[in-house]
Amino acid sequence: MTQSPLFSPLTSRAVIAVEGPDWRTFLQGLLTQDVEGQAVGTLRYGALLTPQGRLLYDLFILAGETGCWLDVAAVHRDALIQRLTLYRLRAKVTISPSPMVVSALWNTDSAEGFLSDPRLGGLGHRGYDAPPPDMANKVPEATYQAHRLALGVPDPANDAPSDTTYPIEANFDLLNGIDFKKGCFVGQETTSRMKRRGTIKTRMIPIRFDGPLPAFGTEILKGDLRAGQVLSGQDGRAMASMRLDRMAGTLTIEGRPVHIEWPGWMEPPAAGDPEP
């Protein structure tokens, strides 16, 4: 059965305008994504990391003629503006909040004024001051977040707080969030080394369970061993930070069975990988 297009304003997101002749070179040295070669009117996904390579802020970059717009978590907008201002030095750019409204549209191939979500085709499209298409049903943001979670895509603003997560652990390498060919960016050395050496022991993976959502950080157990922890989600389903070597066999949270829901875009680890 064909599903109707769904439209949702994303009030959890806000926009920063970065404008001026140096905007590309300024952001190129900071973000995980290549902006030097980004065409005007296109959307890319990336992040700003700590110098140690930990994830600070996820963001979408919408390229314009004389600058760009950064689609960021609303709760982090002021902090990100402050951090970008510290990095500005002599760069000829201005960094300011924008009143632009972010929205999502899915269950449709395309719509005027919307851009494909660069992370994953199934997520749909993102709009910036875009009105809802005539044939789309307007739904709450919670409906969009349930759609994202069902596809197994993390929300770093909620799943990776307090700069403790590496971007590869949040699957940025699998969701087009890191350009490993672009050269230097803040945190690049650690990120590239993890990818090159394959030293990835933990990833964010969706899980399914019966009953209410456990508190953030609740342990997921394999017998008596810690196999991961619950992140954000809803009753019956959540994102989890999982040890890749402890996912086979019976898993529980608070005594309840847990089932891994492998997304179609993520390759499971080889069976029988040894524990370190």
Q: Quick one: pLDDT at residue 270?
A: 63
Q: Does residue 69 fall inside a structural domain?
A: yes
Q: The whole model's pTM is what? A: 0.93
Same domain assignment for residues 115 and 216: no
Q: In this structure, are 62 and 117 located in the same domain?
A: yes
pLDDT digits (tens, 9 = 90+) for 131-164: 999 888 999 999 999 999 999 999 999 999 778 8
Separation of alpha carbons 8 and 127, rounded Å: 10
- Inter-CA distances, 127 with 45, 62, 115, 131, 192, Å: 14, 10, 6, 8, 32
Number of domains in the chain: 2
The H helix count followed by the E strand count for the chain is 5, 16
Residues 154 and 256 in one domain: no
Q: What is the mean pLDDT of residues 237-253?
A: 94
Q: Average pLDDT in the 60-82 region?
A: 97
Instruction: Give me the domain span that covers residue 224.
Output: 201-266
Same domain, yes or no: 119 and 37 = yes
The confidence score (pLDDT) of residue 2 equals 60
Sheet holding 137-138, edge to edge: 114-116, 125-128, 102-106, 6-9, 137-138
Examine residue 243 and state whether it is found in any structural domain, yes or no.
Answer: yes
Q: Please determine, for residue 273, whether its predicted confidence score (pLDDT) is greater than 90.
A: no
